[in-house]
């Protein structure tokens, strides 16, 4: 369904503090007006719209305007530097840019300066967005072709890669999205659902779940950012029935004092979905002890090439599993040569589909790397795991040593490429190390240049250097100085040795 199918007075989106509400009527009219404005400006099906915003309810207006116009929507991470964000806007080929300029301060203005070729720009907070809507028509066109999101995740080079799905056929008023078809029956979304979104809408899962909630007539409760006690307060205040989390959020809520946790009524919760990163078994057990058997897990990727699901009762029988496939793609575990492995053997996780479900924008080499060597419709995002005799998937590692910190992917090479330019660095390797709260944290192993003095002062200088160049959440939390780094005869870093040593040794002092 679509926003216009529901009671116009009903809240579609509310902020957790209750200070802002977007009704279904407002969402329907404003998304139609924005779609008309974009169409009048010359955007056509298959064109790209970039959005740089925090968790503002108007994000869903932009989302539905793109969906009903056959456009690709690229929501950009607002924690990136201006240069990083501008790269994404430029790379996706955006024909228009919408910015929450007042909230994001100088970031939006700087990004706009860096992409002068994008001449169609609207701001949520400078009056241009409202003015565009006021002048546009709210009348629905005869045809509303379905668009899609095209979000970015970094590839093996560290440069972000646009994940471009094939635009679906059909009209948004009659043809439900893949995510609605999957999540509505799986988690019981309906018009009575109240969904808490504590995560940023530039990520795939929060954006797609919010879409599903609105497509089924429920209400989205938006938090500006995650806060452990604030999330519990929002659950109680709005009588939240559904929610989605990453394991780090569970850890932070569990670390609240007992008196704080007991202060809030979470009994309205029917389904608490978690994904994005492996959840420690003990953390999940403790959450079930607290909230009851309402934790549901899935494993997927922004690429949308496949998905597994597991419910609370299943998980208690298969602790540590991320579930079984079948609803979107069939699981195949293969060795490095592509041979299918039997149950119990560890290999690369592929999903088999009838057609190639995505391409990496402007990167056919990366697209081919994701495909099975003999079956081009089998694709992988590089995860390693095994299935048991019952078809349950257990993840064991990340093929490329991607760091997952707080549910966010961090790609070491981007940090290494930055650090190696510092005059005091002769060689560098970046890995993820276990972190009780974040799942993993970033550690840099640095071989100092001749004449450089290793120690706390140099560590602080290096982290400041990284912070000036790339997003803050990618900055190493630990710097360890070494006399040399393990490399193969061909010059490749043997990160497996570093990682094994890091897991078996006491961590160095934090900077």
Determine the Cα–Cα distance for residues 66 and 46; give it in Å rounded to an integer.
10
Determine the Cα–Cα distance for residues 172 and 381; give it in Å rounded to an integer.
29
Please determine, for residue 144, whether its predicted confidence score (pLDDT) is greater than 90: yes
Determine the Cα–Cα distance for residues 182 and 234; give it in Å rounded to an integer.
26
Please determine, for residue 154, whether its predicted confidence score (pLDDT) is greater than 70: no
Burial of 54 (0-12, 13-18, 19+ CB in 10 A): middle
Instruction: Please give the pLDDT value at position 511.
Output: 41
Owning domain of residue 494 = 403-504
Asked if residue 274 is part of any domain, the answer here is no
Tell me, yes or no, whether 488 and 467 share the same domain: yes
Asked if residue 297 is part of any domain, the answer here is no
Q: 184, 205, 225 — which closes off a domain?
A: 225
Burial of 403 (0-12, 13-18, 19+ CB in 10 A): buried
User: What is the DSSP secondary-structure string of 148-192?
Assistant: EE--EEE-TTSSEEEEEEPPPPSBTTTS--HHHHHHHHHHT--TT
- At 409, is the pLDDT very low, low, confident or very high (cuts 50, 70, 90)? confident
- Phi and psi of 503, rounded to 5°? -75, -20
Number of domains comprising the chain: 3
Asked if residue 485 is part of any domain, the answer here is yes
Give the torsion sign (CA, 473, 478, 481, 485): negative
pLDDT by residue (tens digit) across 4-33? 999 999 999 999 999 999 999 999 999 999
Give the torsion sign (CA, 54, 276, 185, 66): positive
- At 508, is the pLDDT very low, low, confident or very high (cuts 50, 70, 90)? very low
Which residue, 98, 102, 101, is CA-closest to 132? 98
Residues 149 and 204 sit within 8 Å (Cβ to Cβ): yes
Asked if residue 53 is part of any domain, the answer here is yes
Determine the Cα–Cα distance for residues 448 and 108; give it in Å rounded to an integer.
37
Asked if residue 264 is part of any domain, the answer here is no
- At 489, is the pLDDT very low, low, confident or very high (cuts 50, 70, 90)? very low
Tell me, yes or no, whether 331 and 451 share the same domain: no
Please determine, for residue 308, whether its predicted confidence score (pLDDT) is greater than 50: yes
Please determine, for residue 155, whether its predicted confidence score (pLDDT) is greater than 60: no
Asked if residue 408 is part of any domain, the answer here is yes
Asked if residue 298 is part of any domain, the answer here is no
At 313, list the tokens.
Answer: 């009762």
CATH of the domain at 344: 2.30.38.10
Determine the Cα–Cα distance for residues 389 and 393; give it in Å rounded to an integer.
10
Determine the Cα–Cα distance for residues 374 and 390; give it in Å rounded to an integer.
26
Tell me, yes or no, whether 407 and 392 share the same domain: no
Tell me, yes or no, whether 98 and 125 share the same domain: yes
Tell me, yes or no, whether 185 and 109 share the same domain: yes
Instruction: Please give the pLDDT value at position 103.
Output: 65
Tell me, yes or no, whether 339 and 407 share the same domain: no
pLDDT by residue (tens digit) across 290-307? 999 999 999 998 898 999
Alpha-helical segments (H) within 278-380: 281-291, 312-317, 364-369
Residue tagged 């309402």 (tokens): 294
Instruction: Please give the pLDDT value at position 296.
Output: 97
**Mean of pLDDT values over 79-90:** 92
Q: 176, 207, 225 — which closes off a domain?
A: 225
Instruction: Please give the pLDDT value at position 487.
Output: 67
pLDDT by residue (tens digit) across 387-398? 999 999 998 756
**Mean of pLDDT values over 51-63:** 97
- At 207, is the pLDDT very low, low, confident or very high (cuts 50, 70, 90)? very high
Tell me, yes or no, whether 202 and 97 share the same domain: yes
Residues 60 and 27 sit within 8 Å (Cβ to Cβ): yes
**Mean of pLDDT values over 461-488:** 90
Determine the Cα–Cα distance for residues 51 and 393; give it in Å rounded to an integer.
35
**Percent of the chain with pLDDT strictly greater than 70:** 94
Q: Which residues pair with 273 in a beta bridge?
A: 244, 296
Tell me, yes or no, whether 217 and 123 share the same domain: yes
**Mean of pLDDT values over 67-85:** 93
Tell me, yes or no, whether 57 and 163 share the same domain: yes
CATH of the domain at 453: 3.30.300.30
Long-range CB contacts for residues 362-368, cutoff 8 Å, separation at least 24: 362/91, 362/162, 363/155, 363/161, 366/155, 366/156, 366/161
- At 157, is the pLDDT very low, low, confident or very high (cuts 50, 70, 90)? very low
CATH of the domain at 204: 3.40.50.12780
Instruction: Please give the pLDDT value at position 342.
Output: 97
Determine the Cα–Cα distance for residues 226 and 229; give it in Å rounded to an integer.
9
Tell me, yes or no, whether 346 and 442 share the same domain: no
Tell me, yes or no, whether 351 and 487 share the same domain: no
Burial of 479 (0-12, 13-18, 19+ CB in 10 A): buried
Q: Which helix (H) or strand (E) holds 489?
A: none
Q: 164, 190, 225 — which closes off a domain?
A: 225
Average pLDDT, the chain: 90
Q: pTM for the complete prediction?
A: 0.81
Strands (E), 77-175: 94-99, 120-123, 148-149, 152-154, 160-165
**Mean of pLDDT values over 408-413:** 78
Instruction: Please give the pLDDT value at position 398.
Output: 66
Tell me, yes or no, whether 343 and 420 share the same domain: no
pLDDT by residue (tens digit) across 332-385? 999 989 999 999 998 999 999 999 999 999 889 989 999 999 999 999 988 888
Secondary structure of 225-291 as H, E, C letters = CCCHHHHHHHHHHHCCCEEEECHHHHHHHHCCCHHHHCCCCCCCCCEEEECCCCCCHHHHHHHHHHH
Q: Is 57 helix (H, G, I), strand (E, B) or coil?
A: coil
pLDDT by residue (tens digit) across 260-288? 999 999 999 999 999 987 787 888 999 99
Asked if residue 27 is part of any domain, the answer here is yes
Please determine, for residue 289, whether its predicted confidence score (pLDDT) is greater than 90: yes
Instruction: Please give the pLDDT value at position 492.
Output: 54
């Amino acid at each position: 369904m679509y926003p216009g199918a529901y009671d116009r007075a009903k809240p579609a989106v509310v902020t957790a503090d209750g200070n802002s509400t977007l009704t279904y009527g407002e969402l329907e009219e404003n998304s139609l007006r924005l779609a008309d404005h974009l169409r009048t400006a010359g955007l056509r099906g298959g064109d790209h719209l970039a959005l740089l915003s925090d968790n503002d309810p108007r994000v869903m207006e932009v989302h539905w305007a793109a969906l009903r116009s056959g456009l690709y929507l690229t929501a950009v991470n607002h924690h990136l530097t201006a240069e990083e964000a501008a790269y994404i806007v430029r790379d996706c080929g955006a024909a228009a840019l919408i910015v929450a300029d007042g909230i994001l301060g100088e970031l939006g203005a700087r990004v706009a300066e860096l992409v002068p070729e994008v001449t169609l720009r609207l701001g949520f907070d400078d009056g241009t967005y409202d003015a565009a809507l006021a002048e546009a028509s709210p009348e629905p066109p005869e045809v509303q072709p379905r668009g899609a999101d095209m979000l970015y995740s970094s590839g093996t080079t560290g440069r972000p890669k646009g994940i471009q799905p094939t635009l679906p056929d059909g009209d948004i008023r009659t043809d439900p999205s893949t995510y609605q078809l999957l999540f509505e029956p799986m988690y019981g979304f309906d018009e009575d659902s109240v969904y808490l979104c504590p995560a940023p809408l530039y990520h795939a899962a929060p954006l797609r779940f919010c879409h599903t909630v609105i497509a089924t007539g429920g209400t989205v409760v938006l938090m500006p950012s995650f806060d452990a006690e604030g999330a519990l307060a929002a659950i109680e205040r709005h009588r939240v029935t559904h929610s989605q989390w990453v394991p780090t959020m569970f850890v932070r809520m569990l670390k609240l004092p007992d008196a704080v946790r007991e202060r809030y009524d979470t009994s309205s919760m029917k389904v608490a979905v978690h994904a994005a990163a492996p959840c420690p078994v003990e953390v999940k057990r403790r959450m079930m002890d607290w909230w009851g058997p309402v934790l549901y897990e899935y494993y997927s990727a922004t690429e949308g090439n496949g998905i597994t699901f597991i419910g609370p009762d299943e998980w208690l029988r298969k602790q540590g599993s991320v579930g079984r496939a079948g609803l979107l793609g069939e699981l195949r575990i293969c060795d490095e040569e592509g041979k299918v492995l039997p149950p119990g053997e560890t290999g690369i996780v592929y999903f088999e589909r009838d057609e190639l479900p995505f391409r990496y924008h402007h990167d056919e080499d990366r697209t081919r790397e994701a495909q099975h060597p003999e079956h081009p419709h089998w694709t992988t995002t590089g995860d390693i795991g095994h299935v048991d005799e019952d078809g349950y998937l257990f993840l064991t590692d990340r093929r490329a040593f991607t760091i997952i910190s707080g549910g966010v992917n961090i790609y070491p090479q981007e940090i290494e490429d930055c650090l190696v330019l510092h005059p005091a660095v002769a060689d560098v390797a970046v890995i993820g190390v276990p972190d009780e709260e974040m799942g993993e944290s970033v550690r840099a192993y640095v071989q100092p240049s001749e004449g450089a003095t290793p120690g706390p002062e140099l560590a602080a200088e290096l982290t400041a250097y990284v912070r000036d160049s790339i997003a803050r959440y990618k900055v190493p939390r630990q710097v360890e100085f070494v006399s040399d780094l393990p490399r193969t005869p061909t010059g490749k870093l043997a990160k497996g040795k570093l990682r094994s040593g890091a897991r078996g040794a006491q961590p160095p002092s934090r900077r």
